[in-house]
Chains A and B, each alone.
Chain A
Amino acid sequence: MQAIQLQWIDYTILVAYVAFVIGIGWMLARYMKTSSDFLTSARSIPTWVTGLAFISANLGALELVGMAASGAKYGIATAHFYWVGAIPAMIFLAVFMMPFYYGSKARSVPEYLKMRFDERVRALNSIAFAVMTIFASGISMNALAKLLNQLLGWDYNIALWICSGVVLLYVLKGGLTSAIYTEVLQFFMIVLGFAPVVYLGLKDVGGWHVMNHALQSVAVNPSALNLKDAGITFAPDAWTSAWRPVLAGSEHNPMGVDWFAMIFGLGFVLSFGYWCTNFLVVQRAMAAKNMNAARNTPLVAAVPKMFFPFLVIVPGMIAVALTSMPDKNYRIPPPILSEAVYGQAIDAVKHATPEDPAAAVKAVADALGKKVAPDKIASLVAANAASKLSDAQIKQGIYNSIAENYYDGVILSLVKKYCPPGLLGLALTALLASFMSGMAGNVTAFNTVFTYDLYQAYFAPGKSDRHYFLTGKVITVVGILLSIGAAYFASMYDNAMDIIQLVFGFVNAPLFATFLLGMFWKRTTGTGAFLGLFGGIAGSALFHSLTIAHGNLPGVKGGYLHLAQEFPSEMAQNFWLAAFAFIVCFSLTLVISLATSRTKSDADLKGLVYSLTPKIVDNNIPFYQKPAVVGIVLLIVCVILNFIFW
């Protein structure tokens, strides 16, 4: 892909956006008087605002780029990350868990754990969370800076520091409120910036039905587009049905996942573990102005979340369909290679002779360091021998013959294909907005947990509020600097990202078992929760060391101790790992709790455990605002969506 050229109009839109987000920070600065204003928004924000911020903070982490990539790789089944992997958990959070988070007056999720259990559980959770948020934000910033570097030709360092600098400016000025308000603006920016790209893509491909038709012919021979290895075929509906290929078994869908791993691993363990316990999102709801607003926050968020697949996954499907249509002159972008590498490959084509296509293919593949389609190289060499082609024509031929896909490039390749100057600036601004909202989300969650759960709890208890307010500000700067450090770390080692995500998986997978038992069973003890969590983390590490996904070598990807089980895909391995870790943590916590004596009386646990908390009586709110009613309606809509794309 050639670098995208921006014009003055594109820069104007970008600058206008940056000016507005910084301006919001400035406007809010005068309301920041206490540490609570800065770190928890003093619980004062309306529901629709916290709801959209809830979804926007989550949207950051590579979602636009990653979901389009998955849409291309797996088709409409990627929507399970929304309909199975998000909506039910968001509704559960709203109806059952928010009353404890909000009602306990805890300022953070780790603080709730301290109230419910003890300091050990809080320390374990807050340290793990602080480290993870930094790395999550670093990974995402690294990806952004790389993308801007490859596609706009911006300098990696400048892109990284400027984007982080903008986030720092508005978060430092307006704290969590500023992050939440800008997240709402970013939400609209993302939706309105990408909607025209989806519209134009669908129009170009010939509409929804033509796209599905094309995807059906792709599914029976996915290797033609390098989506799968040669010889693998699926039923025609593998890319266009969400459930049938999954129910048919792991060999029958491109994800390589079976229904149990999908529903229990993703839909229950991973999804509830993320949405119900991750302070990054829960913090948005905790900033709401009253209990009902807090409970409705995830429900407001669930509405756009349910329809996001059409914005973020469909582009990937469009890209596959376009690639299968020769007259569209489009392919899923190949891995990005430098001009120098292309130069060597062009020389290889020029020096090759049509009589020995095998040698030509080898020479080009060696020059590129990538697999190539032999027939395409052979015909390119023949065409060049028949009548000399220009370097640009040869380069285009080589580009089309690279037999590997760079899925993360899908969304920007569509932006580039369809957006004239003007709209281009809007779409790129939307992309930047999504990364900034993610980073601001991480940083504001990090500074709250660090200030209240680590600094105030263990290093400097009992200081004035002014002291913690300033600490919060300093920690914001430190958090951003650490994120930048993490971004450089991720950029230096190819394996860094794999390892980090692996550790996230180990730590996160068992977490929901602890919360579930803690909130709904008063007998759960601090020792049980603490050892259960440790056991769950150790259990996931053990599971990982004994299993591997098909096609991976033992090592970072698992299986380094012994090969007990091979999974058809990494996704299946992850889902099963989560399920295993949950069961280990759940059983251990249960058994150890029964074996140890309670340290907290029923009175201590009032407001923290379901059976000891008076039911919320919400007679004074209209029935259509009651979380349980709204939750059921949303669940029904979600089930209908599943059936439409069955």
Chain B
Amino acid sequence: MGLDIRWPIGLMFTLIGALLTVFGLAKGAESTSLGININLIWGVVLLVFGVLMLLGAISGKKNPPSA
């Protein structure tokens, strides 16, 4: 099929990750759990995951996977 699933996955997690990161930064101490700013930390994790997926999709577009 013509759609590389890494595009939507990458876009969605980049978006949600960015949202959580900004929310974590803005709320600061108000949105912690066990004293950890988990929104910030996990937002960054999701952001990195999303960007990696997007990078995979971009490189897949340049060199269509053979296998």
Q: Which residues of A contact B (CB under 8 A)?
A: 9, 12-13, 16-17, 20, 23-24, 27-28, 31, 41, 44-46, 49, 177, 181, 184-185, 188, 192, 196, 200, 203-204, 418-423, 426
Contacts and interface: CB of A to CB of B under 8 A. Distances in A.
28 contacts: A12-B19, A16-B12, A16-B15, A17-B16, A23-B8, A24-B8, A31-B1, A31-B2, A41-B1, A46-B65, A177-B1, A185-B9, A188-B9, A192-B13, A192-B45, A196-B38, A200-B33, A203-B34, A418-B34, A420-B31, A420-B33, A422-B24, A422-B27, A422-B39, A423-B33, A423-B39, A426-B16, A426-B20
Interface in B21-39: 23-24, 27, 30-34, 36, 38-39
Nearest to A17: B12
Nearest to B39: A422
Given A181-B3, A181-B5, A418-B34, 4 more contacts: A419-B38, A420-B32, A420-B38, A422-B31
A196 B36 CA distance: 11
Contacts of A17: 12, 16
Of the four ranges (under 10, 10 to 19, 20 to 34, 35 or more), the interface on chain B belongs to: 20 to 34
Nearest to B35: A203
Contact of B3 (A20, A28, A188, A420): A28
A41 B19 CA distance: 34
A476 to B, nearest CB: 18
A477 to B, nearest CB: 23
B20 A185 contact: no
Contact of B19 (A9, A49, A184, A185): A9
Most buried by A among B2, B16, B43: B16
A185 B10 CA distance: 9
A471 B19 CA distance: 42
A16 B16 contact: yes
A204 B20 contact: no
B46 interface: yes
Contacts of A45: 1
A423 B9 CA distance: 18
B34 A204 contact: yes
A13 B16 contact: yes
A200 B27 CA distance: 19
Contacts of B65: 46
Interface string B27-65: 100111110101100110110010000000000000001
B1 A420 contact: no
A206 B5 CA distance: 39
B20 A423 contact: yes
A420 B30 CA distance: 9
Given A31-B1, A196-B38, A196-B42, A13 B19 contact: yes
Contacts of A31: 1-3
Nearest to A185: B9
A196 to B, nearest CB: 5
A204 B16 CA distance: 26
Contacts of B45: 192
Contacts of B46: 192
A566 to B, nearest CB: 46
B11 A20 contact: yes
Given A16-B16, A185-B9, A192-B46, A422 B23 contact: yes
Nearest to B24: A422
A41 B49 CA distance: 27
Nearest to B53: A188
Which 10 residue pairs across A and B have the least CB separation, nearest first?
A: A420-B31, A422-B39, A20-B12, A181-B5, A422-B23, A196-B42, A418-B33, A185-B9, A27-B3, A422-B20
B22 to A, nearest CB: 10
Which of B5, B9, B65 has the most chain A CB within a 10 Å cutoff? B5
B24 A185 contact: no
A613 B4 CA distance: 35
Given A13-B16, A421-B31, A192 B23 contact: no
Nearest to B46: A192
Contacts of A16: 12, 15-16, 19
A23 B15 CA distance: 15
A330 B6 CA distance: 40
B21 to A, nearest CB: 10
Contacts of A185: 5, 8-9, 12
B32 A44 contact: no
Nearest to A30: B2
Contacts of B24: 422
Nearest to A204: B34
Given A28-B3, A31-B1, A196-B38, A188 B33 contact: no
A423 B16 contact: no
Contacts of A184: 5, 9
Contacts of A12: 19
Contacts of B3: 24, 27-28, 31, 181
Contacts of A423: 20, 33, 38-39, 42
Given A9-B19, A423-B39, A423-B42, A44 B1 contact: yes
Among B1, B3, B24, B46, chain A packs the most CB atoms within 10 A around the CB of: B1
Contacts of B9: 184-185, 188
A420 B26 CA distance: 14
A426 B31 contact: no
Contacts of A9: 19-20, 23
A246 B16 CA distance: 43
Contacts of B13: 188, 192
Contact of A200 (B5, B16, B38): B38
B8 A200 contact: no
A185 B24 CA distance: 24
A27 B49 CA distance: 22
A200 B3 CA distance: 36
Contacts of A20: 8, 11-12
A203 B32 CA distance: 14
